[in-house]
Amino acid sequence: MPVCERNLDALHNACQRAAEFADWIELRLDCLEDVPTDLTALIENIPNPLILTFRPSEQGGHRHSTLEERKRFWTSVAPHANRVWWDLEEDVAHNLAPDRSRIIISHHDFSGVPSDLEQIYERLSRTPAAVVKIAVQANDIVDCIPVFQLLDRAREERRLIAIAMGNAGIATRILGPSRGSYLTYGALDDESATAPGQVNARNLRSLYHIDKIDNETMICGLIGFPVMHSLSPQIHNAAFVAEGVNGVYLPFEVHDVTQFFKRMVHPRTRELDWNLRGLSVTAPHKQTVMELLDWMEPKAREIGAVNTVVVEQDRLLGYNTDAAGFVAPLIHRFGSLADRRVAIIGAGGAARAAVWALREQKANLTIFARDVAKAKPLTDLFNVGCESLSSASFAGCDLVVNTTPVGSGAQTDQSPCKREQLNGARCVYDLIYNPKETRLLREAGELGCETLGGFEMLAAQAKLQFSLWTGKQAAADDAD
């Protein structure tokens, strides 16, 4: 666990907190405003094995330093025990000759994945360092491929730390140790990451159960952009543990879904040997993936969207669990939905499953869109009416459903409609689940409407996904 603080007192306190979750602690000394030449007292008070790092700014450090300054630092701070290691950049390592048994030689590239990655590894491997560390920037999920391939190559020696930085590279941080990486890095908390995409160490252990991942672990994940806000990892990883499944569920930030399926997913073409079993699919990929599958259930084809992929032998199978997940909490609350007057806000991908499910329940539907012309393909597909959202009144509606992303992410202070439009509606259902209470739900509650958030739908459709991937039924409270 890297610890980055501005003074020694704060550094010592952070180390005490880090000791609860970390096997090793890395002291990022480049974060200190004043770096002492004697760290004996600090080191002796930390029971964990330590890595001492003074990273220059051009390699991702927090302060500018010359090579001579770093040389003086490393030569003046002597190791105090066998549990102290040193992380050195290549230029420093070539000019010093410390005990090779405790040296990590590092190379960082924050622009992307260099084309000569294997040559860099070979060059660093020829140094006296005991462990080689290579960290590169992943701009898309497929950038993880050369990192995993490098780990496969070095697996027998197990003296390589290979990481793809950024949200698109999180899989390398979580799966790396099970694939031969010497170690991985976990942040003290969400605010103290020392590199892009660094996962909270508490989550590495308690959410992803990194200590239990092995070659047999079934890998599932969420593909989309963005994905880091999703609660799906909490739901599925909890279900794996509760049902005794050796599985892990990861967030996969995917920009080019076609390349991802070709190079990492499809068993006939993928370049990565991993036990990938299933995928959840979110925006903006629910329709694009349909062209990349070998088989699709009729319901998903009718809806025009796939949110679940199962890898079965050498085939990819597509399903839609959104529709059933969407309607399950409504049936629980209303019983029959037949002839209920329902207003759907939005005409995008999320609206497709909602409209299909409500038509199956024989509800009386109207779509309300900002741009009625853009909503026409959806209204024509399902033969439902469409009106302008700006002039709508939902008085008398049994149910108002928000299928747009307005109210989440950078738009948490916004609502898809005006407060007064909700007056007189019985129930407002927002498919957004993060935040738990959106502005739309808050204003609806203030007007006396019943409210329903998106987490119930998320959990309901996740149970169906879990069954498709594992053949087991998840208990109702597995996601609690």
Q: Per-residue DSSP letters for 106-150? A: EEEESS---TTHHHHHHHHHTSS-SEEEEEEE-SSGGGHHHHHHH
**What DSSP designation does 473 have?**
P
- Please tell me which residue in 133, 212, 262, 286 is annotated as part of the active site: 286
Q: Are 333 and 366 in contact (CB under 8 A)?
A: no
Beta strands of 346-462 (E only): which ranges?
364-369, 385-388, 399-402, 427-430, 450-452
Q: How far apart are CA 65 and CA 179, in angstroms?
A: 35
Known catalytic residue at 472: no
Cα dihedral 102, 26, 174, 217 sign: positive
Contacts of 397 (CB under 8 A, 6+ apart): 341, 342, 343, 424, 425, 426
**Which residue has tokens 């059933």?**
324
E strand or H helix at 156: none
CA distances from 62 to 33, 53, 56, 381 (A): 10, 11, 7, 55
Q: What is the dihedral of CA 158, 161, 164, 169, to 10 degrees?
A: 70
Catalytic residues: 286
